[in-house]
A and B are shown apart, each in its own frame.
Chain A
Amino acid sequence: MLKLDAVAKIYKVGAFGGRTLTAVDDVGFEIRSGEVVSLIGESGSGKSTVGRMVLGLTAVTRGSITYDGADIATLPRKAYYRSVQGVFQDPFSCYNPVFKADRVFRMIKEEYFPRVAAPEWDAKIEESLDDVRLNPAQVLGKYPHQLSGGQLQRLLIARALLLDIKFLVADEITSMLDASTRIDVLNLLADLKSRGLGVLFVTHDLSLGNYVSERTVVMHRGHVVEMGLTDKVFTDPRHPYTAKLLSSVPQLTTKWDDTPAVPLDILDYGAAALVEVEPGHLVRQEQSLRSVN
Chain B
Amino acid sequence: MGLRVNDLKVYYQTLRGEVKALDGVTFAVGDGEILGLAGESGCGKTTLGKSLIRMDGRMRHTGGTVELDGAELPIGDDRRMNRFRFSEVSIIPQYAMSAMNPTRKIGKMVADLLESRGLRYRNLAGELERRLDLVELPREVLGSYPLELSGGMKQRMVMVISTLLDPSLLIADEITSALDVSTQKAVARTLVGFRDRGFVRSVIFITHDISLTYQIADTIMVMYAGKVAEKARADVIVNAPRHPYTKLLISSLPEVGVRYADRKLAGIPGSPPSLLDPPTGCRFRDRCPLAHDKCAEEPPAVEVEPDHFVACWKA
Contact = CB atoms under 8 A, between A and B. Distances in A.
Interface string A155-189: 00000000000000000000000111111101100
Interface in A186-230: 186-187, 190, 204, 206-208, 210-212, 230
A72 B199 CA distance: 57
Interface in B243-276: 248-250, 252-260, 264-268, 271
A183 B254 contact: yes
A187 B258 CA distance: 13
B182 A252 contact: no
Interface string B177-199: 00011101110110000000000
Nearest to B258: A211
Contact of B259 (A182, A211, A245): A211
B267 A183 contact: yes
A252 B256 contact: no
B7 interface: no
Given A179-B249, A180-B267, A248-B182, A212 B260 contact: yes
Given A250-B211, A250-B215, A261-B185, A180 B260 contact: no
Taking chain B's interface residues, is the majority helix, strand, or loop, or is none over half, making it mixed?
A: loop
Nearest to B213: A250
B181 A249 contact: yes
A145 interface: no
Contacts of A204: 180-181
B18 interface: no
A62 interface: no
Interface string A224-256: 000000100010000000001110111111011
Contacts of A61: none
A71 interface: no
Nearest to B268: A180
A211 B265 CA distance: 9
Contacts of B252: 179-180, 182-183
Contacts of A208: 254
B256 A249 contact: yes
Nearest to A180: B268
Nearest to A230: B259
Interface string B37-56: 00011000000000000000
Nearest to B234: A255
Interface of B: 40-41, 180-182, 184-186, 188-189, 208-212, 214-215, 238, 248-250, 252-260, 264-268, 271
5 contacts: A179-B253, A183-B266, A187-B265, A190-B260, A230-B259
Given A183-B265, A183-B267, A187-B264, 15 more contacts: A179-B210, A180-B40, A180-B268, A183-B254, A187-B260, A204-B181, A207-B253, A207-B258, A210-B257, A248-B182, A249-B211, A251-B255, A252-B214, A252-B238, A256-B189
